[in-house]
Amino acid sequence: MFSDLGKYLSDAGTRADIGTDLVDHIYLSLLPLVFGVVVAVPLGWVAHRFGRARGALLGVMNIVYTVPSIALFVIIPVLIGSQILSPVNVIVALTIYTTALLVRPITDALDAVPAHVIAAATAMGFRQWRRFLAVELPLSIPVLAAGMRVGSVSNISLVSVGALIGTGGLGGLFTDGFSRRYLPPIIVGITLTLVLALVVDLLLVALRRALTPWTRVQGVAVQ
């Protein structure tokens, strides 16, 4: 088996193709993560701020998240008029999933900002939008980062599904391996997917740590 793998990887063209698949996989999974945050934060704010919108919004998000990914990949070209094989379909679909995943935790995180902190910020003279950016959003970062970690793993695995409709990424290695009944591309695909998920997760943890120094200090009162 290892000799098969060695032989498979010895070809420079194959290695270049795998590299392209990996890069495709990275942007197909991470762009939706970024877009998802950008969409979910305002939606979370709306759900937090307006009690009436909350139930409907969170309900819709739950339903959206239950739509199978393959169905979404096929429906989206119909909805937005893109080519059936366009990577845009995957990006839009995964943005929708990420958004659906993140709205609830963001809403909960905003709810959890202590009332006295908000009141103090208002009394200091923050305008509402600036208060949101300077106080409420930073305090929501730990929860947001936890949601993004789940979202990144979910996206990285879902991009592979896109290979079934031929949209690129490491999933192509699986379809290739299955159709030829040939193991090496499948092993390479699984390994790279796992390594990618792990690396992105570590980066997100590092990012969260860098952005939230206050969560790591000892809560001891020293005179």
Partner 1 sequence: MIEFRAVTKRFDDGTVAVNHLDLTVDAGTITVFVGPSGCGKTTSLRMVNRMIDATSGTILVDGKDVRSADPPTLRRGIGYVIQQAGLFPHRTVLDNVATVPLLFGWTRRKARSRAAELLELVGLPASLGKRYPVQLSGGQQQRVGVARALAADPPVLLMDEPFSAVDPVVREGLQDELLRLQAELDKTIVFVTHDIDEAVRIGEKVAVFRQGGVLAQYAPPAELLARPADDFVAHFVGKDRGYRALSFVDASGVEIREVATASIGDAVSQASDWRLVLDDGRQPRGWLPAGSTVDGQVTEDGLEPGGSLYTLGTPVRGALDAALSSPSGLGVVVDEEGRYAGVLTARQVLDLIEAQRGSRR
What does the alpha-carbon distance between residue 8 and residue 128 come to, in Å, rounded to a whole number?
Answer: 58
Q: Output the smallest distance, CB 112 to partner 1, in A.
A: 11
Cα distance between residue 91 and residue 32, in whole Å: 5
* Contacts to partner 1 by CB under 8 A: 114, 116-117, 119-127, 135, 138-139, 212-214, 217-223
31/211 with CB nearer partner 1: 211
Q: How far is the CB of 39 from partner 1 (least distance, A)?
A: 24
Best CA proximity match to 141, nearest among 205, 203, 200, 218: 205
In the complex, the smallest distance separating the C-beta of residue 138 from partner 1, rounded to whole angstroms, is 5
CA distances from 85 to 61, 65, 73, 166 (A): 26, 22, 9, 6
CB atoms closer than 10 angstroms to residue 208: 17
Residues 6+ apart with CB under 8 A from 154: 97, 98, 101
Please, which residue, 178 or 214, has the CB nearer to partner 1? 214
Least Å from the CB of residue 212 to partner 1 = 7
**Beta carbon nearer to partner 1, 116 or 181:** 116
Which lies closer to partner 1 via its Cβ, residue 68 or residue 125? 125
